[in-house]
Chains A and B, each alone.
Chain A
Amino acid sequence: MIKFLKDLKPYFKESVLGPLFKLFEACLELIVPLVIAKIIDNGIKQSDKGYVLQMSLILVLLGAVGLAFSITAQYFAAKASVGYSTKLRHRLFSHIQTLSYSEIDTLGTSTLITRMTTDTNQVQTGLNLALRLLLRSPFVVFGAMIMAFTIDVSSALTFVAAIPVLSIIVFGIMLISIPLYKTVQSKLDAVLRNTRENLSGVRVIRAFCKENDEIDEFKGYNQSLTKSQRYVGKISALMNPLTYIIINFAILWLINIGALKVDSGVLTQGEVIALYNYMSQILVELIKLASLIITITKSVASYGRIQNVFRVNSSMQFGDVKNAESEYSVEFSNASLTYKGAGAPSLSAIDFKIKKGETVGIIGGTGSGKTSLVNLIPRFYDVTEGTVRIDGCDIKLYEEEALRKKIGIVPQKAVLFSGTVRENMLWGNKNATDEEIYKALSISEAKTLVDGKGGLDFKIEQGGKNLSGGQRQRLTIARALVKNPEILILDDSASALDFVTDANLRSNIQKMDGERTVFIVSQRASSIMYADKIIVLEDGEAVGIGTHEQLLQSCDVYKEIYSSQFKKEEA
């Protein structure tokens, strides 16, 4: 709450003026019944047409001034809520930018996207409504009561009794039905999920002859949904009749008391009508207030979820080393990695040393830890045990930018961003010239592709939808090459390329200027068999490290992989 107010501070003026003008408007509204009372008591009873006209003009004036006040209030409310949520979105986006892989995994990208979109919108709507109505409605309710006191104290006691009873009914029913509506929604979701499953799994369901079981299961979900809907329907159906009873009983009571008071001369007829009008005003505002509170509750929940993202901070502390020197480019000593929330380690006690300029092949089955291993090199994750060194220095001591600059990684999923080819290539190096980009493109066998599409200005659609899988892969490889990194990591990033292109690509990379350590992750033995060193992974353990020939002699897993892919005669 304090945090929220602090964030709202830049819009202090708007946040105060908005509700204030709303209050002015509400005050005017409360005067109306008094004016009507005057018309009756002074105008009609005295047959004074001039007075009636005068008072009617006052009614018009009240309306006009109210309109002006209310427009002013709407403006301030809109300004504060839009301004606030714009800032909130900006801060949230910037905050997400500071998170490391671990936090992104725990929070989940789809969650983060919802926080950025739906939740910030909800906060904006809630704030806007709160500034407009949160003060107004209670003010009208209590204002009506106070006005009643100014007319007649003992009649006003009816208000004192009716307001709490009405509040209990309105809020009580809402409080009870909100969680019930949530249940209904989750049951509807279950029906939806079940329907979708029945469609996407139609072949499997029919192959296993599960049609009748599925119908029974659906009926169960369906019945339970209907039951909840009817239950909550029954409860919320109570709201209108109950409030109707209370408010009208109160009105009858007022008139009966009023009758006594008029008879004894304490009240006038017009004043009784004014009391009646005040009572009628209360119900409308109470219902408005209750639905406002629902919106605000939702907004508060959204705000809480957003704050939870702010509370997650990057678990990584970076050092200040910019450069180091060693004969070895990458060293793993006893490195293990267990992901947050995982039952078992994904990598255990990996040990190897790679000299500068060496090419390293990493091979292993599905889920054997290949990607986990290469993700440790740019410090996307921190090892849970052991150390990883680059140029002889523990990577935890490096400055973030300096470390990432050394490494070019081509991830498994070939992701490109909407924009021109050039813009995408500049991700690797902001200052790259067209010449440098073309060089990278020709190494990744993508130059003819880009030329064919019309050069570097070719527009890539979101997600690279206008390119094939193989084309995307070649471009993501080029993007990493534009960086001209000391260490290049290709994480199964040639899987969509045909064997010839794959082989050309590897030989192009070998021929690049300068000394470069290259990691190639692949399921294909043919992609890594000529590497200086091959690391064979199985269930997170390095079961073999060596050259192709050595491994064929010593490593059973490698032998099996090799023979599963090559003709038996050759193996």
Chain B
Amino acid sequence: MKETKNGTLRKVIKYIGRYKFLLPFTALFAVISVMLTLYLPLLIGDMIDLIVDFGNVDFDGIKRLTLIGIVIIVLTALCQWLMSTINNRITYGVAREVRRDAIERIEKLPLSYLDTKKQGDIVNRVINDTEQFSEGLLLGFSQLLVGILTILGTLVLLLSINWKIAIVVVVLTPLSLFIAKFIASKTYNMFKLQSKTKGEQTAVIDEMIGNQKIVVAFSHTEEATEKFDEVNNRLADCSLKAIFFSSLTNPATRFVNSMVYAAVALTGAIIAITTGNTAEAFTIGQLSCLLAYANQYTKPFNEISGVVTEFQNALASASRVFELIEEEVESSDENASETLGTARGNVCLENVDFSYTKDKELLKNINLDITPGQRVAIVGPTGCGKTTLINLLMRFYDVDSGKIAVDGKDIRNIKRRDLRKNYGMVLQDTWLKTGTVAENIAIGKKDATMEEIVAAAKAAHAHGFIKRLSNGYDTVINEGGGNLSVGQRQLLSIARVMLLLPPMLILDEATSSIDTRTELKIQEAFSKMMQGRTSFIVAHRLSTIREADVILVMKDGNIIEKGTHTELLSQNGFYSKLYNSQFAHIEKGA
């Protein structure tokens, strides 16, 4: 644990290292501003001591001290400003560099990593952890420095002015911290109850308002309101308790502070009287200075206890980001020995074995030879390895043994980019970028003209619905395409590929949410445009794959049957069983 903590710290220092010429400055400014800030009350105390009584004022001294004061004030302010400006610069700069490194890493991470990690978790590391880390670590660091310097400085000054009063302050002040802690621990349960009840209320709101249309359709509004009110009233009770009791912290600590103040005033005044005219006299100026210190002595304590937790959180966050940044990347393909150019579309699989995890084998000894222009359909029950095959073809994953070759070249010897440029891929799980409809269609071809985009959309039968959107092709799509139906999103993904017309095509359940009639038309468009192009189609709907040149029937990681629709039906094997189960209803319904 300690080892990793130190490791994290070292990496943090490496990032800050780019700003190392700034570090001594920020430390220097911190020290100067703290010292000057503490010195000012002392100076003012001295000035007050020069104003003794009627006719007994040392004007020259005051003038001198005022000038010093002005210099000190301006200098303090300048140091404060410089310190925070430098800290800002470092903090935001480091955050920027960490985020940049993280995204560059993400683009290179193997899919085996990205597929197994939760997306939210990775996003959290890039955004929140980076933020927490940079602010917590750096601002925390400077606050810690300032806080500790202030406490030490104050302590030294208090002791140097009068040790008896110093003891009063040092003993009494922590009391307010204890009280704050005590109230926090006592109200903890009230807050827990409050947040639990709040959670319940949010659940009711989510459920009822989220499905408001059903509530309206069943005229269930009164019952919904009753249910809501019950939780709402319970929330009112526990919120009142939690808010009231927790709001006692402030008055209570203020009370302790005023006790300290009174104690300092009392002891200070008594000492001043007893030491009255001796050489060790405790002056009124010193008393006023002590009162000022007593007032602000608790502040750094409160800050430091916050900073320490902040600091720990920051380190934890930092280690999470670094974990991501140091994750192993995909094997490099810089030294690819062969180039592909535009493929003819011959795809060959030889003795391919593959599994995602060592303990569960998936694809076993797959052999295939697809000639250019063939339409290949892949069918089989869920989990039989259809999508895995696609992952291998696109080289999202590498085979465990055996090889895949395109135009006779092992795809591991080709740059991934060259290989992927030759495929047009549409997945069931469509992905749209924030941006306009047109931008989304043109994702593979930045310089596409509007005519080309519209033509692609027409071919994908997406033109009709796009026209009906509020701004047509310029309609901005929300994150994830939330404002479009699944079917519409699939049509847009198809239009993307229609625009590119790559030599090979992969459709993984690409039309699953599109009605059968439109699907048929899209298929026609595809077969017209894809003439002479190799295509792989994964589908559940058997109507989708009937027309394929070769149908691969997969089960448990093996290709168990292979042939055309009619051939396979006549074999009376797995395929014909699958086919008949889907169409059995027709006879039954009739």
Are A and B a genuine interacting pair, yes or no?
A: yes
Using A56-B266, A203-B431, A218-B99 as known contacts, list a sample of 12 further A-B pairs with CB atoms less than 8 Å apart, ordered by residue number in A.
A67-B254, A96-B209, A112-B212, A198-B103, A208-B444, A214-B107, A215-B104, A242-B77, A244-B77, A255-B47, A503-B589, A529-B589
Task: Report yes or no: A207 in contact with B258, Cβ–Cβ below 8 A.
Answer: no
- CB neighbours (8 Å) of B589 from chain A are 499, 503, 526, 529-530
Is B239 in the interface zone, CB < 8 Å from A? yes
On whether the beta carbons of B487 and A262 are closer than 8 Å, the reply is no
Which of B50, B55, B123, B543 is the one whose CB lies under 8 Å from A564?
Answer: B543
**Listed A/B pairs (26) with beta-carbon separation below 8 Å:** A36-B291, A59-B262, A60-B262, A71-B248, A83-B236, A97-B225, A109-B210, A199-B122, A203-B431, A206-B111, A211-B107, A242-B77, A244-B73, A255-B44, A255-B51, A280-B292, A343-B470, A343-B472, A365-B517, A367-B465, A380-B217, A409-B217, A499-B584, A526-B586, A560-B517, A564-B516
Contact between A202 and B111 (Cβ–Cβ < 8 Å)? yes
Q: Scoring A residues 241 to 257 as 1 if CB is less than 8 Å from chain B, else 0, what string do you get?
A: 11011001101100110
Determine the residue in chain B with the shortest Cβ distance to A503. Answer: B589
Taking the closest CB of chain A, its distance from the CB of B49, in whole angstroms, is 9
A484 to chain B, nearest CB (A): 13
Q: Which residues of A contact B518 (CB under 8 A)?
A: 365-366
Chain A residues with CB below 8 A from B47, complex form: 255, 259
Is B107 touching A215 in the complex (CB atoms < 8 A)? yes
Residues of B within 8 A of A237 (CB): 81, 84-85, 88
Assess A523 versus B119: contact at CB under 8 Å? Given A82-B243, A195-B103, A203-B425.
Answer: no
> In the bound complex, what is the Cα–Cα distance between A8 and B2 (angstroms)?
56
List residues of chain B with CB within 8 A of the CB of A101: 213, 216
Classify the secondary structure of A's interface with B: helix
Q: Is the CB of B51 within 8 A of A43?
A: no
Does B261 sit at the interface, judged by CB under 8 A?
Answer: yes
Q: By the criterion CB–CB under 8 Å, are B291 and A462 in contact?
A: no
| 5 interchain residue pairs of minimum CB distance | A499-B585, A63-B258, A233-B88, A241-B77, A59-B262
Does B89 sit within 8 A of A, measured CB to CB? yes
Instruction: Kindly list chain B residues whose C-beta atoms are within 8 Å of the C-beta of A463.
Output: 207
B-facing residues in A185-219 (Cβ within 8 Å): 188, 191-193, 195-215, 218-219
Asked if A349 is at the interface (CB within 8 A of a chain B CB), the reply is no
- Determine if A273 is an interface residue (Cβ-Cβ < 8 Å): yes
Which one of A208, A225, A265, A570 contacts B55 once the chains associate, using CB atoms below 8 Å?
A265
B73 is contacted by which of A116, A124, A248, A342 (Cβ under 8 Å)?
A248
- Would you call B413 an interface residue if the criterion is a C-beta within 8 Å of the partner chain's C-beta atoms? no
Residues of A in contact with B, size category: 35 or more
Closest Cβ neighbor of A205 among chain B residues? B107
Whether the Cβ atoms of B212 and A262 lie closer than 8 Å is no
In whole angstroms, how far apart are the Cα atoms of A203 and B197 in the complex?
42
Type the 1/0 row for A511-554, where 1 means its CB is closer than 8 Å to any CB of B: 00000000000010010011000000001000000000000000
Residues of B within 8 A of A132 (CB): 247
Number of interface residues of B (CB under 8 A): 151
- Whether A49 pairs with B270 at a CB distance below 8 angstroms is yes
Tell yes or no: B62 within 8 A of A by CB.
yes
Asked if residues A226 and B92 are in contact (CB atoms below 8 Å), the reply is yes
**Which residue on B lies nearest to A47, using beta carbons?**
B273
Q: Within 8 Å of chain B (Cβ to Cβ): is A510?
A: no
Q: How far apart sit A503 and B123, CA to CA, in the bound complex (Å)?
A: 46
Contact A230 B468 (CB under 8 A): no
> How far does the alpha carbon of A555 sit from the alpha carbon of B127 in the complex, in Å?
56
The verdict on B288 contacting chain A, using a C-beta distance below 8 Å, is: yes
A361 at the interface (CB under 8 A from B): no
Q: Is the CB of A104 within 8 A of B100?
A: no
Of B160-168, B309-317, B416-424, B550-558, the stretch lying at the interface with chain A is B416-424
Contact between A78 and B431 (Cβ–Cβ < 8 Å)?
no
The answer to whether B88 touches A411 (Cβ under 8 A) is no
A113-B209, A192-B123 are known contacts. Are A269 and B292 too (CB-CB below 8 A)?
no
Of A86-94, A300-308, A435-443, the stretch lying at the interface with chain B is A86-94
- Nearest residue, chain A, Cβ from B415: A209
Which chain A residues lie closer than 8 Å to B472 at the CB level? Answer: 343
Binds A, one of B226-234, B337-345, B365-373, B532-540: B226-234
Which residues of A (95-111) have their CB < 8 Å from a CB of B?
A: 96-101, 104, 109
Q: In whole angstroms, what is the CA distance A82 to B420 when docked?
A: 60
B221 on the interface (CB 8 Å rule)? Answer: yes
Which residues of A lie under 8 Å from residue B78 when comparing CB positions? 241
Asked whether, in the complex, the Cβ of A199 is within 8 Å of the Cβ of B119, the reply is yes
Give chain A nearest CB distance to B435 CB in angstroms: 10
Find chain A residues with CB under 8 A from B588 CB. 499-500, 503
A198-B103, A203-B431 given as contacts; is B270 within 8 A of A79 (CB)?
Answer: no
Query: With A204-B425, A259-B59, A378-B217 as given contacts, are A272 and B127 in contact (CB-CB < 8 Å)?
Result: no
Q: Find residues 135-181 in chain B having any chain A CB closer than 8 Å to their own CB.
A: none
Residues A209 and B420 in contact, CB atoms below 8 Å apart: yes
- Check B203 for interface membership: any CB of A closer than 8 A: yes
Q: Within the complex, which residue of A62, A100, A229, A567 is in contact with B258, where a contact is CB–CB below 8 Å?
A: A62
Give the residues in chain B near A225, CB-CB below 8 Å.
96
Nearest CB of B to A77, in Å: 8
Residue from A53, A97, A210, A365 within 8 A of B215 (CB atoms):
A97
Pick the contact of B262 from A63, A188, A365 — CB < 8 Å?
A63
Decide if B213 touches A259 in the complex (CB within 8 Å): no
B446 contact set on A, CB distance < 8 A: 213
Residues 227 to 264 of chain B near chain A (Cβ within 8 Å): 228-229, 232-233, 235-236, 239-240, 243-244, 247-248, 250-252, 254-255, 258-259, 261-263
Chain B neighbourhood of A90, CB < 8 A? 225, 228-229, 232
Report Cα–Cα, A217/B217, bound state, in Å: 46
- Output the nearest chain B residue to A67 by Cβ-Cβ distance: B255
Q: Which residue of A lies closest to B115 (CB)?
A: A202
Given the known A-B contacts A90-B229, A341-B470, are A233 and B213 also in contact in the complex, defined by CB atoms under 8 Å? no
Chain B residues lying within 8 Å of A100, measured Cβ to Cβ, are 216
| A75 on interface, CB distance cutoff 8 Å | yes
Distance of A458 Cα from B85 Cα, bound (Å):
62
Could you say which residues of chain A place their CB within 8 Å of the CB of B51? 255, 258-259, 262-263, 269, 272
Find out whether the CB atom of B259 lies under 8 angstroms from the CB atom of A401. Answer: no
Q: Is A19 an interface residue (CB 8 A)?
A: no
Q: Would you call A66 an interface residue if the criterion is a C-beta within 8 Å of the partner chain's C-beta atoms? A: yes
Q: Which residues of B contact A252 (CB under 8 A)?
A: 44, 66, 69-70, 73
A523 to B518, alpha carbons, bound, how many Å?
11
Cβ of A405: which chain B residues have Cβ within 8 Å of it? 219
A472–chain B nearest beta-carbon distance, Å = 12
Q: How far is the CB of B68 from chain A (nearest CB, A)?
A: 10
CA distance A330 to B223 in the complex (A): 30
Q: Is B23 an interface residue (CB 8 A)?
A: no
Q: Quick check: B266 and A560 within 8 Å, CB to CB?
A: no
Which A residues lie within 8 Å of B215 (CB)?
Answer: 97
What is the minimal beta-carbon distance from A26 to any residue of chain B, in angstroms?
12
Any chain A CB within 8 A of the CB of B34? no
Q: Which residue of A lies closest to B108 (CB)?
A: A211
With A193-B479, A263-B55, A269-B51 given, is the CB distance from A367 to B485 under 8 Å? yes
Q: Is B279 an interface residue (CB 8 A)?
A: no
A437 to B166, CA, bound (A): 79
Q: Is A385 an interface residue (CB 8 A)?
A: no
Contact B107 A565 (CB under 8 A): no
Contacts of B516 in A (CB 8 A): 523, 561, 564-565
With an 8 A cutoff between CB atoms, is B57 at the interface? yes
Contact across chains for B262 and A56 when beta carbons are under 8 A apart: yes
- The one of B57, B103, B240, B427 that contacts A215, using a Cβ cutoff of 8 Å: B103
Residues in A neighbouring B433, C-beta threshold 8 A: 197, 201
Q: Which A residues are in CB contact (< 8 Å) with B420? A: 206-209
Q: Known contacts being A74-B251, A226-B96, is A343 close to B106, with CB within 8 Å?
A: no
Kindly supply a per-residue 1/0 record for chain B positions 459-479, scoring 1 wherever the CB is within 8 Å of any chain A CB and 0 otherwise.
000001101111010000001
Instruction: Check A226 against B84 for contact (C-beta < 8 Å).
Output: no
- A418 located at the interface, meaning its Cβ lies under 8 Å from any Cβ of chain B in the complex: yes
CA distance in complex: A499, B588 (Å): 9
Q: Contacts A109-B212, A500-B588 given: A209-B80 contact, CB under 8 Å? A: no
Nearest residue (CB) in A for B57 is A263
